[in-house]
Amino acid sequence: MLEIQRLSTTQPDFEAGLAALTDWDDGATHRVEAAVGEILQRVRQEGDVALLEYSARFDRLRAETVSALEVERARRQAALQGLEADDRAALEEAAERVRAYHEHQLESSWRQEEADGTVLGQQVSALERVGVYVPGGKAAYPSSVLMNVIPARVAGVDEVVMVAPAPDGEISPMVLAAAEVTGVDRLFLLGGAHAVAALAYGTETVPGVDKIVGPGNAFVAEAKRRVYGHVGIDMVAGPSEIVIICDGQTDPEWIAMDLFSQAEHDEDARAILVCPEARYLDEVQTAMERLLPDMERSEIIRAALARRGALICVRDLAEAARVADAIAPEHLELSVVEPERMAATIRHAGAIFLGRHTAEALGDYCAGPSHVLPTSRTARFASPLGVYDFQKRTSLIQCSPAGAERLGRIAARLARAEGLTAHARSAEYRYGSGD
């Protein structure tokens, strides 16, 4: 048997049930906060010495110098050349598709001249140096390298510094190969909060960066939250989630497997199916029960579905869309007959997968958009990781003498109303009345 919660929008306590299902406290525990605080401070003060000590302690990785933890190009090239041909082709095709998609996101500078010669505009430039954190160990995903590094490369970032922990010295060859395919500039076998500290503050060997992106465990998340402001960060990610809206016409096994593909990430992952047909929910549950024993990660799937899975029965598809918007999911699959129409009614989602043939898994690897998406209802205000995370803007203002007078009179008036007379006089000098 498979345990999964059932909800219906006709229940009087539906909203409370939904809130309980989607609640996520992303605050760090005191233990994590204290540990991370100490690590950040020590790396900031002691640099490489502290890094070596933490690497030995947390990853059982002993090195004489931090330079010895840097992976040279030759080793990455060898990893790429050592892949099976089909793996290499898949990695390179995925990288190419992700690159092509992100080129649509490039922003350009603009300027516009007014009648009196005053020019306003916006100068767009790439970040200089970016740090990418890639988790290691059991969750070492080459796809994370593609999805974080390629948008930075497309933006034109000068230098991409990647860190990835290598517990006991082990690092996935696919991860090294992905670093090579995406042209990572420097790669250090460092992980955890101390790697974030090294990127944020710089050490003798690890260069300090301007922004840090990439997923990580609770210590990494807390470290990113703490260095935010000193450097930029992408987001503080919660557990992965999917909402599938189905009209009841898709093969139940497809939907069952889509729910599994989310649930197999980890025990906190959330997989939710929304459908107006109670009988279809039964069919999907039956399919899940039939398929589960064969799954390699069945125990994780079982635990995730029991803790955070749900089958939700709604009155109609319009209500399904409203439920999805309230959840603001990271991934939203629209397995319905007119997915474009429904997508146009959705306001809050990280990524939408339209139509029965679009499995969410395609987006994790190779469809094009980054798989780094806002979780835990942050799609209400946040976007997928994109080129825009690696470009920034500078406002441009250039007044002609006539414009300086025209604008100066407005500015001086408002400045005096605010009691800021140096502002007023600075504007007035430009048209001869500052004395």
Annotated binding-site positions for Zn(2+): 262, 265, 364, 423
- Establish if 418 lies at the interface with a copy of itself (CB under 8 A): yes
Note whether 328 and 306 are within 8 A (CB).
Answer: no
Residues near 120 by beta carbon (within 8 Å), at least 6 away in sequence:
111, 112, 114, 395, 396, 397, 398
Which range in 56-64, 161-169, 192-200, 250-258 contacts a copy of itself by CB under 8 A?
250-258
* Set 331, 333, 360, 371: catalytic member: 331
Interface with a copy of itself (CB under 8 A), residue from 53, 87, 268, 319 = 87
Nearest partner of 53 among 33, 39, 37, 70, judged by Cα: 39
Task: State the binding site.
Answer: 240, 262, 265, 331, 364, 418, 423
Could you give the CA distance from residue 148 to residue 152 in angstroms, rounded to a whole number? 7
Contact 228, 200 (CB under 8 A): no
CA-to-CA distance for 75 and 180, rounded, in angstroms?
A: 9
**Nearer residue to a copy of itself within complex by CB, 10 or 395:** 395
Work out the burial of residue 26: count CB atoms within 10 Å of its CB; fewer than 13 is exposed, 13-18 middle, 19 or more buried. middle
Among 55, 143, 148, 335, binds a copy of itself (CB under 8 A): 143
**Contacting a copy of itself within 29-68 (CB under 8 A):** none
Which stretch, 5-13, 179-187, 190-198, 356-364, contacts a copy of itself (CB under 8 A)?
Answer: 356-364
Of the candidate residues 20, 29, 45, 429, the single one contacting a copy of itself (CB under 8 A): 429
Cβ contact 269:239 at 8 Å: yes
- Residues 118, 411: contact at Cβ < 8 Å? no
Nearer to a copy of itself, 203 or 376 (CB): 376
The distance of closest approach from Cβ of residue 230 to a copy of itself in the complex, given in angstroms and rounded to an integer, is: 8
Binding mask 107-126 for a copy of itself (x = CB under 8 A): ---x-x------xx-xx-x-
**In the complex, minimum distance from the CB of residue 54 to a copy of itself, in angstroms, rounded to a whole number:** 22
Q: Would you count residue 4 as binding a copy of itself (CB under 8 A)?
A: no
Residue 110: its H or E element: strand 110-113
| Amino acid at position 354, single letter | L
User: Can 330 be counted among the known catalytic residues?
Assistant: yes
- The least distance separating a copy of itself from the CB of residue 421, rounded to whole angstroms, comes to 5
Identify which range of 49-57, 226-234, 307-315, 316-324 contacts a copy of itself by CB under 8 A.
Answer: 226-234
Nearest distance from residue 17's CB to a copy of itself, in Å?
20
CB of 68 to a copy of itself, least distance (A): 28
Tell me how many residues contact a copy of itself (CB under 8 A).
122
**DSSP 3-state assignment of 350?**
coil
Active site residue 360: no
Distance CA 239, CA 245 (A): 20
Distance of CA 10 to the CA centre of its chain: 35
Pick from 59, 180, 222, 364: which binds a copy of itself (CB under 8 A)?
364
Judged by CB under 8 A, the residue of 297, 303, 322, 433 near a copy of itself is 297
Alpha-helical segments (H) within 84-138: 85-103
Rounded distance, CA 399 to CA 413, Å? Answer: 18
In sequence order, what are the residues at sequence separation of 6 or more whose Cβ sits closer than 8 angstroms to the Cβ of residue 404? 427, 430, 431
- Member of 231, 245, 274, 275 binding a copy of itself (CB under 8 A): 231
- Angle, in degrees to the nearest 10, between helices 252-263 and 298-308: 90
Tell me the three state secondary structure of residue 426: helix
Considering only 1-9, 47-55, 275-283, 360-368, which stretch makes contact with a copy of itself by CB under 8 A? 360-368
For the bound state, the minimum distance from the C-beta of residue 175 to a copy of itself, rounded and expressed in Å, comes to 10
Q: Which residues inside 150-179 make contact with a copy of itself, applying CB under 8 A?
A: 174
Contacting a copy of itself within 309-338 (CB under 8 A): none
290 binds a copy of itself (CB under 8 A): no
Count of other CB atoms within 10 angstroms of residue 284:
25
Residues 385 and 148 sit within 8 Å (Cβ to Cβ): yes
| CB-CB neighbours of 168 under 10 Å | 9
Q: Is 299 in the site for a copy of itself (CB under 8 A)?
A: no
User: Which segments of 228-329 does DSSP mark as H helices, in order?
Assistant: 252-263, 278-291, 298-308, 317-327
Q: How far is the CB of 284 from a copy of itself (least distance, A)?
A: 13
**Residue number with CB closer to a copy of itself (64 or 296):** 296
What does the alpha-carbon distance between residue 315 and residue 8 come to, in Å, rounded to a whole number?
A: 9
User: In the window 365-394, what residues touch a copy of itself (CB under 8 A)?
Assistant: 365-370, 373, 376, 378-384, 386, 388, 392-394
DSSP β-ladder status, 331-335 and 310-313: unpaired
Q: 180 to 209, contacts with a copy of itself by CB under 8 A?
A: none
- Which residues are annotated as part of the binding site for substrate? 240, 262, 265, 331, 364, 418, 423
If one asks whether residue 258 binds a copy of itself (CB under 8 A), the answer comes out as yes
Q: Hey, which residues are catalytic here?
A: 330-331
